[in-house]
């Protein structure tokens, strides 16, 4: 499906609607009315070229365009009627979510600045979507991690049909990038709020579900229902399996028990879904990474997991250093471990010429530190 076809249909119909209004407008006399007509006509003529004047390429979606998307796509032969209706249903659900956090209840489709670029749904003015606050003005998120994705998945690596697994996919930026590069993708996101954006982007990029599947579950050591504790931002929530864990999380997030928002989510082991080799396994679960690995051991045992990108909270805690050693030597049998520090600011960077050192980022090999359990040597980042 061509990414922006639906929105061009919507723009075309919008121009026709405005034209009818202008043609029915009656001016009796006065130059002010003539000027008004000229301004309206010029505005209509410039609509197709608006991306020239809008550097972030945002395409605002409103309720009228949702209706047009449903109607105009009847002529689009690239997707089934069921898939088109599902996309519209997902977008309607998104309006309900966005309205909870944003008075306007509006959405945007942003064309990313990555190579290749891709359209992604983001929340417009939604404070809880911390990832959206970077993607909307910049067209990307976490440039170092973005470059790592391109290094691992680019240069035709996805042409052989390998799988990318995104555990803690949030609103889907890295999953979408993997799909845009041509890889098969399995995204796991238990938090219903960012998952709606994830599902909408997946429906837009892969309407036939041939490459990209979204699972509304968390990955853990056993199959059961658990509490998911929400943070102020969508990127900070995590699974809680017991009351002690919940108390610790409340302290971590600075919340009072009565103010903590919870969801009941399904917890599964990774092998319940994944039955093949994995080119890249990304894990970002806000301190729950040890349980994710526990629930993924059979996948590591039965299949090749070539690369792991993982966030390790409190990385210098002895138990976390033991975990990293266990993951490297006993679970994944990896030969190299790298630590990296990303860039989180609102200055737009050219990803084609991005230089880590010049932009305050770095990547450092820490294989020897992890493999030889050099706990006296402190690690300065939580990303590996």
Model pLDDT for residues 292-337, shown as the tens digit of each residue: 999 999 999 999 999 999 999 899 999 999 999 999 999 989 999 9
Q: What is the mean pLDDT of residues 217-245?
A: 71
Mean residue pLDDT across the chain:
74
pTM here is: 0.74
The residue among 284, 254, 266, 259 whose CA lies nearest residue 227 is 266
Convert the pLDDT of each residue in 345-370 to its tens digit.
Answer: 888 888 888 777 777 888 999 999 99
* pLDDT band (50, 70, 90) for residue 35: low
Convert the pLDDT of each residue in 245-256 to its tens digit.
Answer: 444 444 445 545
CB 166 within 8 A of CB 185: yes
Distance between CA atoms of 315 and 324, rounded to whole angstroms?
9
Strand partners, 247: none
End-to-end CA distance of the chain: 35
C-alpha distances (whole Å) from 243 to each of 221, 248, 250, 295 are 17, 9, 10, 21
Residue 109 confidence (pLDDT) above 70: yes
Of residues 233 and 58, the one with the higher pLDDT is 233
**What is the pLDDT, as a whole number, of residue 193?**
82
C-alpha distances (whole Å) from 209 to each of 90, 243, 336 are 15, 38, 34
Residue 209 confidence (pLDDT) above 60: yes
């Amino acid at each position: 499906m061509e990414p922006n076809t639906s929105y061009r249909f919507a723009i075309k119909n919008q121009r026709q609607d405005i034209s009818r209004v202008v043609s029915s407008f009656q001016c009796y006399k006065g130059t002010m009315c003539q000027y008004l007509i000229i301004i309206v006509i010029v505005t209509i003529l410039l609509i197709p070229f608006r991306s020239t004047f809008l550097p972030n390429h945002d395409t605002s979606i409103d309720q009228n365009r949702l209706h047009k998307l449903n109607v105009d796509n009847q002529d689009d032969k690239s997707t089934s009627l069921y898939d088109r209706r599902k996309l519209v249903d997902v977008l309607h659900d998104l309006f309900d979510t966005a309205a909870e956090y944003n008075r306007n209840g509006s959405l945007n489709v942003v064309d990313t600045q990555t190579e290749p670029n891709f359209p992604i749904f983001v929340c417009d003015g939604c404070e809880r979507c911390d990832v959206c606050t970077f993607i909307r003005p910049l067209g990307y998120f976490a440039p170092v991690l973005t470059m790592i994705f391109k290094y691992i998945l680019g240069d035709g690596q996805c042409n052989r049909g390998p799988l990318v697994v995104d555990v803690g996919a949030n609103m889907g930026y890295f999953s979408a990038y993997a799909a845009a590069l041509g890889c098969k993708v399995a995204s796991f996101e238990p938090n219903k709020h960012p998952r709606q954006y994830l599902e909408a982007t997946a429906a837009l990029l892969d309407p036939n579900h041939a490459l990209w599947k979204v699972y509304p579950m968390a990955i853990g050591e056993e199959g059961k229902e658990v509490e998911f504790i929400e943070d102020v931002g969508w990127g900070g929530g995590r699974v809680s399996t017991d009351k002690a864990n919940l108390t610790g999380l409340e302290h971590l997030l600075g919340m009072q028990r009565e103010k903590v928002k919870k969801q009941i989510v399904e917890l599964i082991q990774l092998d319940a879904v994944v039955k093949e080799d994995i080119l890249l396994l990304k894990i970002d679960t806000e301190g729950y990474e040890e349980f994710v690995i526990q629930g993924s051991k059979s996948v590591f045992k039965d299949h090749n997991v070539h690369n792991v990108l993982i966030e390790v909270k409190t990385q210098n805690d002895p138990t976390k250093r033991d975990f990293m050693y266990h993951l490297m030597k006993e679970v994944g049998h990896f030969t190299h471990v790298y630590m990296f520090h990303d860039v989180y600011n609102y200055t737009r960077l050219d990803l084609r010429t991005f230089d880590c050192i010049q932009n305050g980022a770095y990547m450092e090999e820490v294989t020897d530190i992890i493999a030889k359990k050099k706990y006296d040597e402190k690690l300065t980042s939580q990303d590996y």
